Amino acid sequence: MIANEDLKDDIGENHIATSAETPLRADAFEMSDDQKIEAIKKDVENILHTLGMDLTDDSLKGTPNRVAKMFVKEIFGGLNPSKKPGSSTFENKYKYGEMLVEKNITVYSTCEHHLLPIVGRAHVAYISNGTVVGLSKMNRIVDFFAKRPQVQERLTIQIVEELKNVLNTEDVACVIDAKHLCVNSRGIRDIESSTVTSEFGGKFKEENVRREFLDYIKLDTQF
C-alpha cells in the first residue's frame, strides 16, 4: 500500500491534477487582501530565516513584503472571483459565420505542485451562434484563470468552459503550449521540453473543423 505522503509526492512530481475546479476552501475570501499580505509576509520571513538568510541586509529587508504583495495582487490574483473579467457580449450583426481564432495569447501561470512558473502561449477559438465577444476579453479570460496555482490541463478546460458560458455555445476550443520550470529548472532539468494541452467543444470535435483550427495556429504571423 502506498503511504499518504508518498501518494502526495507521486501526484506532485507527475504534475497530476485532482479536479477540473481550482481547489479552494469555503473560507478562502474571509480575509481581506491586506490581511493576507500581512500573514504571507510573516510566512516568507520565516522561510528565509530558516534558510539562513540575513533579513537585516538592505537587499532582503523588503523581500517578504514584496513576495506577499506579488502573491495576492499579481500572480495569484485570479483566485479572487471579484477580479473575473466582465462577460459583455454583442450581437453578431455582421453575420460572421466562420471560426474566430485568437492565437499566441501569452500565458504566465504557476505550477501548483512546486510554485514555479509556467510560461507559454494559448490559442483560443470559437464559432459564433449569434453572439460575439471582444477580442481582448479572450486574453483577459486566459490571464484570469492563469493567475492562480494551476495545472495546465485544468487551465485549458477552465478557459473553454468560461467561453462556453460567456458565448452560450459549445463551439469553443483551446490549445496551450507551455514550458514548466518545475521540469525545466529542477528535477529532470530538461530545458527543451514543453507541454501541449487541448480542449475541443462542440463542432471542434469534428476532424475537419479541428484541423482548420490547428492549421490557423500554425500561421507565422509577423508584422
Given 113, 150, 158, 174, which residue is catalytic? 113
- Cβ count within 10 A of residue 95: 7
Please give the Cα distance from 208 to 43 (Å, whole number).
52
Rounded Cα–Cα distance for residues 111 and 71 (Å)? 13
Catalytic residue among 15, 114, 123, 162: 114
62 — phi, psi (to 5°)?
-90, 0
Q: Tell me if residue 111 is catalytic.
A: yes
Which residue among the candidates 15, 102, 123, 152 is catalytic per the annotation?
Answer: 152
Is 15 marked active-site?
Answer: no
Known catalytic residue at 21: no
- Nine-digit cell string for 81: 472571483
Residue 180 falls in the annotated catalytic set:
yes
Which residue of the set 112, 150, 158, 199 is catalytic? 112
**122 Cβ neighbours under 8 A, 6+ residues apart:** 105, 106, 107, 142, 159, 174, 175, 176
The catalytic residue among 15, 102, 111, 174 is 111
Which of the following is catalytic: 150, 174, 180, 199? 180
Active site (annotated) includes residue 112: yes
Q: Which helix (H) or strand (E) holds 135?
A: helix 135-146
Active site positions, annotated:
111-114, 152, 180, 182
